Amino acid sequence: MAERRIPEIVIEPPLPGRAISLYARARAEYPALVEATVQRLREAAADHPGRIAQATSLGAEDMVLTDLIARHGIAIDVAMIDTGRLHPETLALRARAEAHWGIRIAVFGPEPAKVADFERQHGPWPMYDSVALRHTCCGLRKVEPLQRLLAGRSAWVTGLRRAQSAHRADVPLRAPDEAGRVKYNPLADWQWADVWHHIATHGVPYNPLHDAFMPSIGCAPCTRPIAVGEDFRAGRWWWEDDTRRECGLHVPTANTPSRSTSLSPIQP
Ligand code: SF4
């Protein structure tokens, strides 16, 4: 049997403030974007009282959303998925965020018995063996816990942006998901420069791995730093050929309209 090749992931020490100096830029559109986003969040909370949560990855966009939710006292719960494979920096950020805003971030994880069974069959690195096994891993560690995170909820909030990848170019501000909940993407029209300008302006805590050339951070075995000129999400599942690489949390459904579809007054 051919020996399995485990990619070596080299992460250079983060240089504090590097992401801010690289990416933050005060665009003229920023004040109006913030105002519109706070309004979107307020309307979402009003439409789904007690039944809406932000599913945070603790990435830069999600930290901006949590900042807006917490600073404006918007009634949206914040919750995350601990896949069991996150970087220590990501896990530490949860405690920093809770202390910074005085909020609780609920944590949902995979079912230990199912993960143990999967790893007994396929070993600790199944994601490198085939796309199918990688998807199974994402299903066990991310998608199934997300379903529990969303149980009893009628809406959720994500930090998806259209500029993150060609695959996300049509992300709407809101759309029904497969289960019929409303999925809000209130940062859909933000640029990367806006995200970092907001983080810099408001002292928002962020993952130090962003200071090590990792703009998009997922699980440790499946995230590497990117090189100059590489796509924003090039560091995620980089060994796969498919350019539409996703983890299954944000795959468009038949219900997802194009962004030009007018659903309500909150559409652009
Ligand atoms: Fe598994 Fe990687 Fe998916 Fe995390 S991102 S759930 S480690 S395949």
> 165 pLDDT band (50/70/90 cuts)?
confident
The phi and psi torsions of 153 (rounded to 5 degrees) equal -100, 150
Q: What is the mean pLDDT of residues 100-106?
A: 98
Whether 81 is in the pocket of ligand 1, judged by its Cβ within 6 Å, is no
| Cβ partners under 8 Å of residue 255, min gap 6 | 175, 176, 177, 178, 180
- Return the residue whose CA atom lies nearest to atom 3 of ligand 1: 138
How many Cα atoms within 13 Å fall on the side-chain side of residue 32? 5
Task: Return the CATH number at 99.
Answer: 3.40.50.620
| pLDDT tens by residue, 222-264 | 999 999 888 888 999 999 876 556 666 765 555 554 443 222 2
Confirm whether 232 is domain-assigned. Answer: no
Confirm whether 50 is domain-assigned. Answer: yes
| Cβ partners under 8 Å of residue 129, min gap 6 | 4, 122
Confirm whether 216 is domain-assigned. Answer: yes
pLDDT at 266: 23
Residue 96: what residue type? Answer: R
Domain that residue 33 falls in: 18-222
Confirm whether 89 is domain-assigned. Answer: yes
Confirm whether 236 is domain-assigned. Answer: no
Kindly give the number of the ligand 1 atom that is closest to the alpha carbon of 140.
6
Percent of the residues in the chain that have a pLDDT greater than 90, as a whole number: 81
Q: How many domains does the chain have?
A: 1
Confirm whether 7 is domain-assigned. Answer: no
Partnered with residue 53 across adjacent β-strands are 77, 156
Kindly give the number of the ligand 1 atom that is closest to the alpha carbon of 85.
7
Confirm whether 249 is domain-assigned. Answer: no
Confirm whether 55 is domain-assigned. Answer: yes
